[in-house]
Amino acid sequence: MSDSTARPRAARRRLPRVNPVWLLLAALILAIVFMNPGFVEPTGYMNFLKRAAPLAILAAGQVYVIVSGGFDLSVGSLITLVVVGSSMLTNNDPSATVWVIPLMLALGLGVGAVNGAIVCFLRVPSLIATLGMMITLNGLAFLWSGGAPRGYLPDTFRFFGRELIKDVPLVRFIPVSVIVLVVVVGLLTWLMHRTNLGRQVHAIGDNPVAARLAGVAVNRVRITAFMLSGLSGALAGILLGGFAGVSTDVGTGYELQAITAAVLGGAQLLGGRGSVPAAVGGALALTAIFTLLNFLGLPQPVRQVVQGLILIAAVALAMHRREETGT
Amino acid sequence: MTAPAPGSAPMIEMKGITKTFPGVRALSDVSFDVRAGEVQALVGENGAGKSTLIKILSGVYRADSGAVLLNGEPVHFAHPVESLRAGIAVIYQEFSLLPERTVAQNLFLGREPRTRFGLIDGARMRRETREVLSLFAAAGRIDPDRIVGTLDVATQQVVEIAKAVSTGARVVVMDEPTAALNEAECEELFATVDTLRTRGVAIIYITHRMREIARLADRVTVLKDGEVAARFDEVPEPAEIVRAMVGRDIADFYAAPATAGEIGPPVLTVRGGGNAVLKGIDLEVKAGEIVGLAGIQGAGRVALAMALFGQAPFERGEVTLSGERVDFRSPRAAILGGVGLLPGDRKSEGLVLMQSVRDNGMLTSRAFAPLWASDRRNAHADTTGMDGLLDRMEIRAASYDQDIRALSGGNQQKAIVARWLSMRPKLLIFIEPTRGIDVNAKAGIYHLMRDLAREGAGILMISSDLPEVIGAADRVLVMQEGRIVAAFGRGASEQEIMHAATGGAEVAA
């Protein structure tokens, strides 16, 4: 017994364990490089990152909701609403971007707050609450555009999703969306893994009863998690509007891709454990898989089959790991 | 089955059992026997080797050396099914019943009687179920067609034991069978054990509770650190058993009571407090004192704690905390007002299991700091920070970054106490503070409560363990049906308290 009186903090560290998502990503990138050596050039990997940026941002936001013990299915239609709404509001006026973008970010926060409030105060399970929100927002996007959205966003708006910053040393150019990605992911990583908010998001997903009895403002934390997911949806919409153009199905399927990415990154469904950087890794891996399928010339439906199988496999693997560790 | 007289040759004999797990010697040279028609109590702290011994007996584990003899014949069980066939039934805390099936179906699972057409003979199954159940006091309550999942825990336990009897078990092992039972249900279980004993069954009864040993046991074996620490052919005084379990005297088991000088002004006063469960609660807790709250399950003790803590608030009456009127509508408000609560169920109400020891300790202080503040603020500071508090709790962990899941119950409990230390509460409510933790850790918790009281907190301790209420508290209040029905000073007896708790008399408070 006397040996345990030494300060426990000084005890030996555990071996660092690499999250399997990084190994998966490395393997996928090797495969891409093998099939397309041009990928090691800046045009190759920067374009890849640019394409992955909306999903990566979305996954980073989704992780907050998953770790808090919920799901956010509404972000895909939120993207659509942001893209359609921006095209309606800017109405080809380049100077409108200055107020439309903040408005769209506020819309994302607002949708998240409503999602959170429905879950907290009306006690609707988040899966159902955000499914309802998904259908509602989709309908709103259709109504707003009359089903036929105007096809253009002003270049000032598309700047974030499309433009490149040229003459950068080492890499030659950096897409603006990659800068947005790095900044957003950096902030969300810090918030999740270095602040009281992040620790409490983990706590309410792990054991909401214990968290409440310990004084955690459970509703406030949960609503904040949904608002961050909504904000990430709006940001992803702004980027996607920049390079994908305007349509009423621009965000379709993104919510499940974001959940798949988070789970690939090791986030525990039903809450308590998850990592923002690993979810971004999951998003990059998913994008890499789609890129490979493209190289192989496989059609869109195959993509869906693969994505569905990945989601199931990732969750099955997570459940297996959970049994092993006895969580 | 004839009932041999107690005192005859052992039915089960375990000789020189040694079992090593990687890095741990779980049992060394343990010998143990049970005779037909006797109750042999097997006691020891968590980790003393009781479960390992039982698992070797039932064939879950295989001993490294030593022998198991059944009626003098050596036996080697490679699987629990083999020991069951040989007539050894183990009743674990989690039952093996199928909750969606009826009582009769569970009793005859896998050996259903058939009619001559090969169909299951339901009538015969029901009749024989009734016969078996008629041995037990609870028989009148149990319908053979009742779905097992709809029965309460105590009745399910009777069904489990009846199942063991109906399969012809000659040896029944019970692993802390009263852990989930209330007082009245315990009495019924004791009657069941008596029935088994008179039918000549050899019973191994694992427990922590001295009262049950005194009530039931014929002989006692105490395990400590994988060895037999003491063997008693007659049940000794509880103090003697505890000394053997702990390896030291229990004079300092409970902390010394508060002296008159240590007790200060009231921190908590409740006048006429009531809600759906509680009626006319008048209560005072002074700074520096520990008030014990006794009562049977459902008497409203936890409801009172949750009312004070704002989780299920009072709807009537006045609550004063340190001279100020308060009306807490949520735990958060109560914590801000200076109340802390240690929940009764560590796993489901206390811990965030996927987080570290330090994170569990900091849960409350973080909840009241700005959301964007660093999660490391006040984490590592030696005297004022969480690590300092965890040091003070003497928590045994490889590191405070370790998952709390891996710690023993006692150390987990200390981490939750550390959570409150950082908030300096005026009133601390402990619900079943030592449930499921071993004897040494219990002593640690009692001394910790006393230290907190000496520093000026008022402490309300809810416990179903009467010796604990009597030994650790300065005063004892007794609740019954949502009211406080009696109050005792130091030195009350278990009989007096039980009498008041079960409605024996309305003693003036």
Here the ipTM equals 0.86
| B397–A8 CB contact, under 8 Å | yes
The pLDDT mean for chain B works out to: 86
B466 and B418 in a common domain: no
* Alpha-carbon separation of residue B5 from A120, A147, B2, B195, B220 (angstroms): 65, 91, 9, 15, 19
Q: Which is more confident, A121 or B227?
A: A121
B405 in contact with chain A, both atoms CB, cutoff 8 A: yes
Flag whether A150 is in a domain: yes
Give per-residue pLDDT as tens, B314-348. 999 999 999 999 999 999 999 999 999 999 988 89
Flag whether B349 is in a domain: no
In one-letter notation, the amino acid at residue B289 is E
Residues of chain A contacting B, Cβ within 8 Å = 4-5, 7-9, 11-13, 191, 194-200, 202-203, 206-207, 209-217, 221, 224, 268, 272-273, 326-327
| B352–A211 CB contact, under 8 Å | yes
Flag whether B4 is in a domain: no
**Residue B143: band (very low, low, confident or very high) from pLDDT cuts 50, 70, 90:** confident
**What CATH number is given to the structural domain containing B38?**
3.40.50.300
Q: What is the DSSP code string of A98-157?
A: HHHHHHHHHHHHHHHHHHHHHHHHS---HHHHHHHHHHHHHHHHHHHHTTS--S---HHH
Q: Over pLDDT 90: what percentage of chain B?
A: 39
**Which residue is listed with tokens 């308590």?**
A272
Last residue of a domain, one of B199, B215, B246: B246
Flag whether A78 is in a domain: yes
Enumerate the residues of chain A whose CB falls inside 8 A of the CB of residue B402.
Answer: 8
Q: What is the pLDDT of residue B121?
A: 86
B441 and B293 in a common domain: yes
Q: Which residues pair with B174 in a beta bridge?
A: B91, B205
Flag whether A22 is in a domain: no
Sheet containing B316-321, strands listed edge to edge, beginning at the edge strand earlier in sequence: B281-286, B266-274, B316-321, B324-326
B206 and B125 in a common domain: yes
Query: CB of B353 within 8 A of CB of B404?
Result: yes
B203 and B234 in a common domain: yes
Flag whether A5 is in a domain: no
Mean pLDDT of B285-298: 92
| A210–B343 CB contact, under 8 Å | yes
Flag whether B258 is in a domain: no
Q: Would you say residue A194 has pLDDT above 70?
A: yes
Tell me which residue range forms the domain holding B497. 265-338+425-509
**Residue A8: band (very low, low, confident or very high) from pLDDT cuts 50, 70, 90:** very low
Give per-residue pLDDT as tens, B195-252. 889 989 999 999 877 888 889 999 999 988 888 988 999 888 887 888 888 766 556 7
Using CA coordinates, name the residue in chain A closest to B312. Answer: A213
Distance between CA atoms of residues A281 and B190, nearest Å: 59
| B371–A196 CB contact, under 8 Å | yes
Mean pLDDT of A98-124: 97
B179 and B168 in a common domain: yes
B211 and B284 in a common domain: no
Give per-residue pLDDT as tens, A150-182. 667 888 888 888 888 888 888 888 999 999 999
**Which residue is listed with tokens 């690590």?**
B387
Flag whether A106 is in a domain: yes
Q: Would you say residue A1 has pLDDT above 60?
A: no
| B352–A273 CB contact, under 8 Å | no
Q: What is the pLDDT of residue B381?
A: 67
Tell me which residue range forms the domain holding A93. 53-258+266-272
3-class SS string, B16-69: EEEEEECCEEEEEEEEEEEECCCEEEEECCCCCCHHHHHHHHCCCCCCCEEEEE
Flag whether A294 is in a domain: no
Domain count, chain B: 3
Q: What is the pLDDT of residue B508?
A: 41
Q: What is the pLDDT of residue A303?
A: 83
Enumerate the residues of chain B whose CB falls inside 8 A of the CB of residue A272.
Answer: 352-354
Work out whether the CA dihedral B221, B222, B223, B228 comes out positive or negative. Answer: negative
The pLDDT mean for chain A works out to: 89
Q: Would you say residue A17 has pLDDT above 80?
A: no
Window 336-355 of B: residues touching A by CB (8 A cutoff) are: 336, 341, 343, 348-355
B381 in contact with chain A, both atoms CB, cutoff 8 A: no
B378 and B280 in a common domain: no
Give per-residue pLDDT as tens, B37-74. 999 999 887 667 888 899 999 888 889 999 999 998 99
Query: CB of A222 within 8 A of CB of A120?
Result: yes
**Which residue is listed with tokens 């109340």?**
B339
Q: What is the pLDDT of residue B507?
A: 42
Flag whether B282 is in a domain: yes
- Lowest-pLDDT range of A106-110, B309-313, B442-446: B442-446
Q: Over pLDDT 70: what percentage of chain B?
A: 93
Q: Which is more confident, B48 or B484?
A: B484
Flag whether B173 is in a domain: yes
| B353–A191 CB contact, under 8 Å | no
| A195–B371 CB contact, under 8 Å | yes
Q: Are strands B281-286 and B266-274 parallel, antiparallel or unpaired?
A: antiparallel
| A9–B372 CB contact, under 8 Å | no
Flag whether B344 is in a domain: no
| A215–B364 CB contact, under 8 Å | yes
Enumerate the residues of chain B whose CB falls inside 8 A of the CB of residue A203.
Answer: 352, 355, 359, 363
Q: Would you say residue A3 has pLDDT above 80?
A: no
B204 and B94 in a common domain: yes
Domain count, chain A: 1
Flag whether A7 is in a domain: no
Q: Over pLDDT 70: what percentage of chain A?
A: 92
Residue A166 burial (10 A CB sphere; 0-12, 13-18, 19+): exposed
**Residue A5: band (very low, low, confident or very high) from pLDDT cuts 50, 70, 90:** very low
B287 and B196 in a common domain: no
**Residue B382: band (very low, low, confident or very high) from pLDDT cuts 50, 70, 90:** low
B438 and B412 in a common domain: no
Distance between CA atoms of residues A72 and A66, nearest Å: 8
Instruction: Tell me which of A7, A14, A195 to substitute to probe the interface with B (most B C-beta atoms closer than 10 Å).
Output: A195
Q: How far apart are the first and last CA of chain B?
A: 54
Work out whether the CA dihedral B436, B438, B443, B445 comes out positive or negative. Answer: negative
Last residue of a domain, one of B180, B214, B246: B246
Of A214, A268, A327, the CB nearest to B419: A214
Distance between CA atoms of residues A96 and A154, nearest Å: 9
B120 and B81 in a common domain: yes
Q: Would you say residue A255 has pLDDT above 60?
A: yes
Q: What is the pTM for the complete model shown?
A: 0.75
| A327–B405 CB contact, under 8 Å | yes
Q: What is the pLDDT of residue B211?
A: 82
B186 and B83 in a common domain: yes
Using CA coordinates, name the residue in chain B closest to A204. Answer: B352
